[in-house]
A and B are shown apart, each in its own frame.
Chain A
Amino acid sequence: MLEFIWNPEVRNPGLSGAEHHGYFPFPVAMRLAIARDMSSPDNAPAAPDWDAIARDPAFRILLADKIKFLVPATIFFVIYYFALPVLVGFYPEFMSREVFGSLNLAYLFALSQFFMAWILAGLYVVVARRWDRDSDAVLKKLGR
């Protein structure tokens, strides 16, 4: 079904060599009728012009914005997370230092990971709302 949107051979079998591929087990006339029927506006809208959207400056800015958040955020959480097994594994004496009553650095650092994850997820939700607006604007501008 989705092939009808993307694959011009399937959309318009009369013009291409689709019959040589034997894509449909139907005679050509019937195939054309099916293709006409399937590509009518009710069933499958015309293929979006992906390239036009991809070239649109607003879309490029949206992608750049995403990268600007995702790359540093990912690097940060990976380093923060792996600091735990590294510090605890290689410097257990240091991490056993009690900082808060009997609570030691190791436990507090492990606990902080939960809050780190929640805060980063919260930040992501906030910036992603802006991306939603931007991507809606791109689609609207290009008549989608």
Chain B
Amino acid sequence: MPLFFAQADPPAQTDRVALFMFLAFVAATLVITYFSARKSKGSSAYFAAGRRITGWQNGLAVAGDYMSAASFLGIAGMIALNGYDGFMYSVGFLVAYLTVLFIVAEPLRNAGKYTMADLLAYRLKPRPVRAMASLSTLTVSIFYMIAQMVGAGALVKLLLPAISYEQAVIGVGVLMVVYVVFGGMIATTWVQIIKAVLLMSGSIFLSILVMAKFDFSVMKFFDSLTAISSTAADGTEVTRNFLTPGLLFKNPWDQISLGLALVFGTAGLPHILIRFYTVPDARTARSSVVWAMVIIGLFYIMTTFFGFGAASLLGPDFINAHGGTNMAAPELARALGGNIFFAFISAVAFATILAVVAGLTISASTSFAHDFFTNVIHHGREHRPGEEVRVARITAFVVGALSIGIAIILGPTVNVAFLVGLAFAVAASANLPAIVLSIFWKRFNTTGAVCGLGVGLVSSIALILVSPDFMKENPIFPLKNPALLSMPLGFLGAILGTLFTHEPSSEDKFTELEVRANTGLGAEKATEH
């Protein structure tokens, strides 16, 4: 079986160009951080960018927070190696935003201040609800972040052989801590925006280069996919139609469960939700979701061109021999645009990871400082002015150090794909039921919220531990993603917990939440400049 793993080192010159481009990105973001730090005075500026981000800016930032390296490199690679099934991933990532748009974005902006838990605590007893919501936020953010960090380190080894795994992990970790500690939400937002613009430009350019090879004929392009030859595991040559479903996924229930996690989990991802506090009002939150949907949709449609394009122009064997799944897009860039373009796409991939981890860090530290420290430990009052921001900065530092440590201990070879799936599953099973029921169900109460969050969190983690990713032989739970079972369990926990207890104060305050969520009366205002 002729499989070579990136033995042929790319020329040293590529290395230098890629490094230079990446350093240019880092320099630009540090300049932004410097200017943001001067503006980041006060809680609202630090946690919510003063609520002065515009609709299209926040749309780009949401897209930047969302389109991770797993999407860019991972989906491109899956399509390049297995065809159509990889493209099915792309679909769920966009459709998920309908849940965000219809159900969560506007009520959240109207009723909350800095975190997802604000919405839940509005009419429920704040301390137990915030403690649970904070735990689930930290779980989602930290799991997701470790996945990104390990991915970053592993990627560096392929893209820039001169830099070691540890150096890459430390570099990414230090940068994200610098953005978040000094620049707060303003810097994080601009890092996301620049990254989204870079990623979109890179993808558009790559797609155009692919289509140029087919004289810009869509029909010619798809015709070329009907017979892709590759070497099978037993060494025989096989020719497959890459537009045929079923080349990668054998169990349809896996796809349905993953679809549930994506479509309902996105609306429960804390780092996406807190972005809606950065705009002046709910109407701008709405327009930012629509901007994000345009950008995210275009991006995922383009995975057709560079994913299938890599299959058609490079072939699965070539990709397997040059770094495997994650390298399909960069290798395609090298083949079509030369070493300079390869360097550019590599730099874009780094920028992507950096922006996503910065977004995760600020969501984890905001939740710890605002929900846990101020509201649970200090009963909702700052003992000293500026304390909340100070705690958030310290948390960001600790979170950064922790994830660097864990990523280095785990090492570059550990399979982290399940961590991202887990993050979405926890968001769908714990956060979403609590959010939806607190907005729409008058009877909902504190016990219900705590049970829903707890059952959703525990069941998704437990089911992952007994899933095929963890138990290689005879897994107790047959599906890779737990959402199909854990999400109904989360709802069930929330509903049963509610029905077994009575909490008149929660029902009384429902009217207030209903009015506020639907009219914006009393919502947090943007700060004066």
B520 interface contact, C-beta 8 A = yes
A38 to chain B: closest CB distance in Å?
13
B297 to chain A: closest CB distance in Å?
5
For A128, the chain B residues whose CB sits under 8 A away are 286
For B516, the chain A residues whose CB sits under 8 A away are 50
A35 interface contact, C-beta 8 A = no
A86 interface contact, C-beta 8 A = yes
A96 to chain B: closest CB distance in Å?
5
A121 interface contact, C-beta 8 A = yes
For B91, the chain A residues whose CB sits under 8 A away are 81, 84, 110, 113-114
For A114, the chain B residues whose CB sits under 8 A away are 91, 94, 297, 300-301
B242 to chain A: closest CB distance in Å?
10
- Given the contacts A102-B225, A103-B243, A144-B521, A53 and B102 also touching, CB distance less than 8 Å: no
Q: Is the CB of B244 within 8 A of A111?
A: no
* Complex Cα spacing A73 to B98, Å: 9
CB contact list, A103-144 vs B, under 8 A:
103-104, 106-107, 110-111, 113-114, 116-118, 120-122, 124-125, 128, 132, 135, 138-139, 144
Q: Is the CB of B102 within 8 A of A82?
A: no
Q: Is the CB of B243 within 8 A of A102?
A: yes
Q: Would you call the interface of chain A mostly helix, strand, loop, or mixed? A: helix
A62 to chain B: closest CB distance in Å?
7
Q: Scan B92-103; emit 1 where CB is below 8 A from any A CB, else 0.
A: 101101110111
A127 to chain B: closest CB distance in Å?
11
A26 interface contact, C-beta 8 A = no
Pick from B88, B225, B263, B289: contact of A88, CB below 8 A: B88
The size of the chain B interface, using a CB distance under 8 A, is 54
For B458, the chain A residues whose CB sits under 8 A away are none
Pick from A3, A74, A84, A139: contact of B88, CB below 8 A: A84
For A124, the chain B residues whose CB sits under 8 A away are 101-102
Pick from B102, B297, B380: contact of A73, CB below 8 A: B102
Pick from A102, A103, A125, A139: contact of B519, CB below 8 A: A139
Q: Is the CB of A135 within 8 A of B520?
A: yes
Q: Is the CB of A63 within 8 A of B522?
A: no
Q: Would you call the interface of chain B mostly helix, strand, loop, or mixed? A: helix
A4 interface contact, C-beta 8 A = no
Q: Is the CB of B521 within 8 A of A53?
A: yes
For B259, the chain A residues whose CB sits under 8 A away are 81-82, 84-85
For A135, the chain B residues whose CB sits under 8 A away are 518-520
* Complex Cα spacing A104 to B87, Å: 14
* Complex Cα spacing A44 to B387, Å: 23
For A104, the chain B residues whose CB sits under 8 A away are 243-244
User: Could you pull out 24 A-B pairs where Cβ atoms are within 8 angstroms?
Assistant: A3-B380, A77-B95, A77-B98, A81-B95, A81-B259, A85-B252, A85-B256, A89-B251, A89-B255, A89-B256, A101-B222, A102-B223, A102-B225, A102-B226, A103-B222, A104-B243, A107-B84, A111-B304, A113-B91, A114-B91, A114-B301, A117-B97, A121-B289, A135-B518
Interface residues of chain B, those whose CB is within 8 Å of chain A, are 84, 87-88, 90-92, 94-95, 97-99, 101-103, 219, 222-223, 225-226, 241, 243-246, 249, 251-253, 255-256, 259, 263, 283, 286-287, 289-290, 293-294, 297, 300-301, 304, 380, 511-512, 514-516, 518-522
